[in-house]
């Protein structure tokens, strides 16, 4: 298993449903060195062919943990700041100065994070990725990439070539 990126960011998927999105997130985690945490129930098994196919041969290079519920994940992560991504937030993801240990929290497709998770005391702020009007959301793996690469860019892409 790889060492985490030196800016030590964590991605959390709350009850993801679509196997290829999680497979793509595994690939993103492997290529950036961040940790990916999945909160059950998952809409698939980690051995699902679509997860494996989307993640290609990156599964062994990624740090992926599966947690039975959100409180268990918070206990394991001990986050100082959690940014919940939702199309209903007012603040843009670019208006944050990301730091080591930050957690980026994304909800399931197609519903997004439920209200009880958005109001979780661990959630520091709610953020959005700008889109044109009358659009519901971005693809989960794409949204993850947009936010993750902004955080990594702000840190000067430590560890990258």
Q: What is the pLDDT of residue 161?
A: 86
Q: What is the pLDDT of residue 41?
A: 95
**Half-sphere exposure at residue 80, Cβ-oriented, CA atoms within 13 angstroms:** 7
> Range of 95's domain?
10-154
Q: What is the pLDDT of residue 61?
A: 77
CATH number assigned to the domain comprising residue 35:
3.40.1280.10
Residue 79 belongs to a domain: yes
Using 50 as the pLDDT threshold, list the residues of the chain that sit under it. Answer: 4, 54-55
Q: Is 107 annotated as a binding residue?
A: yes
Q: Is 6 annotated as a binding residue?
A: no
Q: What is the pLDDT of residue 106?
A: 98
Token duo for residue 51:
């997860």
Q: Is 43 annotated as a binding residue?
A: no
The model's pLDDT over 66-90, given as tens digits with 9 standing for 90+, comes to 999 999 999 999 999 999 999 999 9
* 15: alpha, beta or left? (left if phi > 0; alpha if psi -120 to 50): left
Contacts of 47 (CB under 8 A, 6+ apart): none
Residue 160 belongs to a domain: no
Residue 123 belongs to a domain: yes
Q: What is the pLDDT of residue 110?
A: 82
Q: How many domains does the chain have?
A: 1
């Amino acid at each position: 298993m790889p060492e985490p990126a030196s800016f030590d960011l964590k991605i959390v998927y709350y009850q993801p449903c679509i196997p290829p999105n999680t497979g793509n997130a595994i690939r993103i985690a492997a290529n950036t060195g961040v940790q990916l945490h999945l909160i059950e129930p998952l809409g698939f098994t980690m051995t699902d062919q679509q997860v494996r196919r989307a993640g290609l041969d990156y599964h062994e290079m990624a740090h992926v943990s599966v947690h039975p519920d959100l409180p268990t994940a918070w206990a394991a992560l001990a986050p100082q700041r959690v940014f919940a991504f939702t199309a209903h937030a007012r603040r843009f993801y670019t208006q944050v100065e990301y730091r080591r240990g930050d957690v980026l929290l994304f909800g399931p497709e197609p519903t997004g994070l439920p209200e009880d998770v958005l109001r979780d005391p661990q959630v520091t702020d709610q953020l959005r990725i700008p889109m044109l009007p009358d659009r519901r959301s971005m693809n989960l793996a794409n949204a993850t990439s947009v936010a993750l690469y902004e955080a990594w860019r702000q840190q000067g892409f430590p560890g990258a070539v």
